[in-house]
Amino acid sequence: MNIDKKTYKKYATAHAPKSPLAKNCLWAFCVGGAICTFGQLLTSVYKVWGLPKEDAGTLTSVTLIFLSALLTGLGIFDNIAKHAGAGTLVPITGFANSVVSPAIDTKSEGLVLGVGSKIFTVAGPVLLYGTLAGAVYGVIYWISKLF
């Protein structure tokens, strides 16, 4: 059977299940908001325990990264993400998951050739282009201040 790309795309679109876009967006918003609310709650608790605002914020970030990595390692984060969708991609939790997942998947290949070489396969491009975008923005900002 030989089908051209246009015909195949039309066929695939007709037979693909329709996604409830509004429901998925609302659910992702709620889950992402819940993660952010939990982070704010952690910050408030750390401040009540006597930490300065900056230290409480840092400890909140570390706690969220640790919990995301732990839940990924236990296989729970993927189940949450399966139901929550993009809501789990709140930057710090999604980033922790994107670093830990490849490490877990490749641990059987060894520490160097597996985990060491593939740990940043997902997060690497984010780091690269985030850093590059920051540098470009910095140059633009610097040039704008000259005039």
Give the pLDDT of residue 86. 84
Tens digits of per-residue pLDDT, 5-31?
A: 888 888 888 888 888 888 888 999 999
In a domain, 54, yes or no: yes
- What residues make up the domain containing 113? 106-147
Is pLDDT of 62 > 70?
yes
Q: What is the pLDDT of residue 143?
A: 94
**Number of structural domains the chain divides into:** 2
pLDDT tens digits for 33-49? 999 999 999 999 999 99
> 2 in a domain, yes or no?
no
Q: What's the predicted TM-score (pTM) here?
A: 0.70
- Asked whether the beta carbons of 87 and 28 are under 8 A apart, the reply is yes
